[in-house]
Amino acid sequence: MAATILIVEDEPAIQELVACNLELAGHRTLRAESAEQAMRMVRDELPDLIVLDWMLPGVNGIEFARRLRTDKRTQSVPLIMLTARAEEQDKLTGLETGADDYITKPFSPRELNARVKALLRRRSPQATDDVIEVSGLRLDPASHRVTGNGTSLQLGPTEFRLLHFFMTHAERVYTRVQLLDQVWGDHVFVEERTVDVHIRRLRKALEPSGHDKLIQTVRSSGYRFSLN
């Protein structure tokens, strides 16, 4: 699962270590050295996950976490707290503030990667069974049914997963490699043009209700599910 991860850490060496490891694991990273800088970055782009240091100059990690959780746009961003403190009480404070997980320094890069991966899995909306409806297109993960304006649409299993991913990640552009990671769970052994084949099939399946237009090709980038 490749994600965009914001790292908020004021110590350059640790920031570098965390960023390099997450990049090696295939993620894209954004870096901030203060909560103030991170807030500006989050306004521009909502990351898929935030790794947040507890002890920051100015607004500290706990306060930043609180602000994230009180803002509707950012309240469900997965959050991992990073701290040198190992006391149980601090851990509880971090979790009460809304952190999803907690890592104590020093930590192994492997542990960090494993926690990031687990949290992304746990919080990925396409992994849930919630019915999603967008502009007359309705997808029910539990019964594997898709309807367009009330009419049943026939989708193959891959097209179903692809549509489920798109509907839970609307208005964002995904490259073929990202789609392979997210939908196939593999970008090493599956060819990129496989994505194009299934996009074609998906559009064909959505044609009867006119929802094929929601699957947009973004030139030289990839694909996007968009209402605009």
- Minimum distance of Ca ion from residue 3's CB (angstroms): 23
Q: How far is the CB of 84 from Ca ion (least distance, A)?
A: 8
Query: How far from each other are the two terminal CA atoms of the chain, in whole angstroms?
Result: 27
- Cβ pair 79, 52 in contact under 8 A: yes
Q: 35 or 205: whose CB is closer to Ca ion?
A: 35
Binding residues (CB under 5 A) for Ca ion: these are: 10, 53, 55
Longest Cα–Cα distance of the chain, Å, equals: 59
- Residue with CB nearest Ca ion? 55
Of 53 and 100, nearer to Ca ion (C-beta) is 53
> Nearest-CA neighbor of 156 among 88, 205, 95, 213?
205
* Contact by Cβ (8 Å): 147, 138: yes
User: Closest CB to Ca ion among 35 and 206?
Assistant: 35
Residue 8 vs 49, nearer CB to Ca ion: 8
Asked if residue 153 lies in contact with residue 209, where contact means CB atoms within 8 angstroms, the answer is yes
Minimum CB distance to Ca ion, residue 55 (Å): 4
Q: How far is the CB of 209 from Ca ion (least distance, A)?
A: 52
Task: Give the list of residues 6+ apart from residue 170 with CB closer than 8 angstroms, or none.
Answer: 134, 225, 226, 227
Whether the bond between 106 and the residue before it is cis, its omega within 30 degrees of 0, is yes
Nearest distance from residue 25's CB to Ca ion, in Å? 22
10 vs 36, which CB is nearer to Ca ion?
10
Asked if 80 and 50 touch (Cβ cutoff 8 Å), the reply is yes
